[in-house]
Structure 1
Amino acid sequence: MNKKLLAAIFGSALMLAACGGGDDEATEPNDENGGEVVETQDAEKIVQGNCTSCHGGNLEGQGNFPSLTDVGSRLSQEEILKVIQEGKGAMPANIIEGAEAEVVAEWLSNKK
């Protein structure tokens, strides 16, 4: 009986291991940034941590800081990346850097 119980436990463990993971988000290495990998799902988190204090919690803009809710209809991905890298107006340069800046620029370019 111990062998059957051990076999059932072992079989269950193998099945759980085979089904585990569940993290199917695509990641892209970025060789220009030392092979750093940033997941696309992280773009929103990066924006929340770096942009909302000036652009508002919903990116609706506030004070002298423009709305980013439709920034993709005004600027291309490359132009957004340039603003992130070089700054503009009161926005400092390189507030987000490397692969994170590229992922954020892509994410914001889809805001139309």
Structure 2
Amino acid sequence: MKKLWATTGINIILAGFLVFLLFYYEGPGHAAKPGGETAGGETASAEKAEEIASTSCMSCHGENFKGGAGPALDKIGSKYAQNDIENIIKNGKGAMPGGVITPEEAKIVAEWLAQKK
């Protein structure tokens, strides 16, 4: 019985450590350079926008934003201006609910999507 408790405790500690690694550790390749650029040369806001969109938008707009339950976003910048995209994200449109992400995140994602033409 004591062995079962010890094994369970160790598993809980390992699971907690893995959760920490998944959500908080970004590794040496993500160290930010002065001026908002990452070691890879992309701007930090573009990486942030892509991360937000991947976790919040991809389930409806499809892998690589090529479309799914929602419309394709891979060339949305040629159809809508940044302000229009931000408004749609904040307030929703058609079947898309508003407020899926915070207003600050909406601004970052809208700027990123507006560049997709």
TM over 0.5: yes
1:59 equivalent among 60, 65, 75:
65
Instruction: State the aligned residue count.
Output: 80
4+ residue segments displaced more than 4 Å: none
Which runs of 5 or more structure 1 residues have no equivalent in the other structure? 1-20, 28-38
User: Could you tell me which residue of structure 1 aligns to residue 53 of structure 2?
Assistant: 47
Give me the CA root mean square deviation: 1.8
1:23 equivalent among 20, 32, 45:
32
User: Could you tell me which residue of structure 2 aligns to residue 101 of structure 1?
Assistant: 106
Which structure has the higher relative contact order (CA within 8 Å, separation 6+)? Answer: 1
Give the share of equivalent positions with the same residue, in percent: 41
Q: Give the structure with the higher percent helix.
A: 2
Counterpart of 2:99 in structure 1: which amino acid? N
Counterpart of 1:80 in structure 2: which amino acid? I
The Cα of 1:98 is off from its aligned counterpart by 2.2
Tell which structure's C-alpha radius of gyration is larger: 1
The Cα of 1:57 is off from its aligned counterpart by 1.2
User: Could you tell me which residue of structure 2 aligns to residue 86 of structure 1?
Assistant: 91
Q: Provide the secondary structure at the position in 2 that maps to 1:67.
A: coil
CA distance, structure 2, for counterparts of residue 104 and residue 94 of structure 1: 13
Q: 1:10-68 CA deviation, whole Å, 9 max, x = no partner? A: xxxxxxxxxxx9411629xxxxxxxxxxx4021000000000000001100124x1100
CA distance, structure 1, for counterparts of residue 88 and residue 103 of structure 2: 13
